[in-house]
């Protein structure tokens, strides 16, 4: 069975892919992703503070070695309530891109009526239920009918 894949945000603009391999893949639905008491959020919360320091440590170790010696992975073990996780970093050939959202809000004005947005329907219905204005020709004031 394929690993459970989740993405872990480590900084504002950095996200790492996390692959979770289980000893027994049948436990993914019944234990790790259980709807009432999922273990996965607890695992991610336990691992999150360790990932960025581990990444920095691996980069420093790689610089010190200068790629002359064989690269050895160091595995860290995190134990929590009901789980034990081994954390290690591997390089993958694929690169992932992250799209950062920028939310910009505008005032709702006359432009919304021209665009025909969802709020326009309610205003049009409310305006049709209002009392009509009738303008008498030759008079300068308006009368309600």
pLDDT tens per residue, range 47-62:
888 888 888 888 888 8
C-alpha 13/C-alpha 73 separation (Å) is 25
In-domain check, residue 116: no
* 114 part of a folded domain: no
Q: With 0-12 CB in 10 A as exposed, 13-18 as middle and 19+ as buried, what is 118?
A: exposed
Asked if residue 8 is part of any domain, the answer here is yes
Rounded to whole angstroms, the Cα distance separating 75 from 43 reads: 16
Average pLDDT of the chain? 73
In this structure, is residue 54 part of a structural domain? yes
- Is 33 a domain residue? yes
The alpha carbon of residue 91 and the mean position of all alpha carbons in its chain are separated, in whole angstroms, by 23
Dist. CA 59–CA 65, nearest whole Å: 10
| For the chain, percent of residues with pLDDT exceeding 70 | 65
Domain count, the chain: 1
**3 state SS for 91-143:** CCCCCCCCCCCCCCCCCCCHHHHHHCCHHHHHHHHHHHHCCCEEECCCCCCEE
Which residue range(s) make up the domain with 23? 4-87
Is there a domain that residue 131 lies in? no
Q: What is the largest CA-CA distance in the chain?
A: 98
pTM confidence score:
0.54
Residue 111 lies in a domain: no
């Amino acid at each position: 069975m394929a690993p459970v894949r989740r993405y872990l945000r480590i900084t504002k603009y950095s996200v790492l892919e996390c692959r979770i391999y289980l000893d027994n893949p049948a436990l993914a639905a019944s234990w790790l992703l259980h709807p009432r008491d999922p273990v996965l959020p607890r695992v991610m919360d336990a691992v999150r503070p360790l990932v960025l320091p581990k990444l920095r440590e691996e980069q420093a170790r790689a610089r010190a070695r200068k790629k002359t010696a064989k690269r050895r992975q160091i595995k860290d073990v995190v134990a929590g309530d009901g789980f034990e996780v081994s954390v290690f970093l591997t390089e993958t050939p694929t690169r992932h891109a992250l799209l950062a959202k920028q939310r910009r809000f505008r005032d709702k004005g006359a432009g919304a009526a021209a665009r025909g947005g969802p709020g326009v329907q309610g205003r049009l219905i409310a305006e049709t239920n209002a009392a009509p204005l009738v303008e008498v020709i030759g008079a300068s004031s308006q009368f309600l009918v």
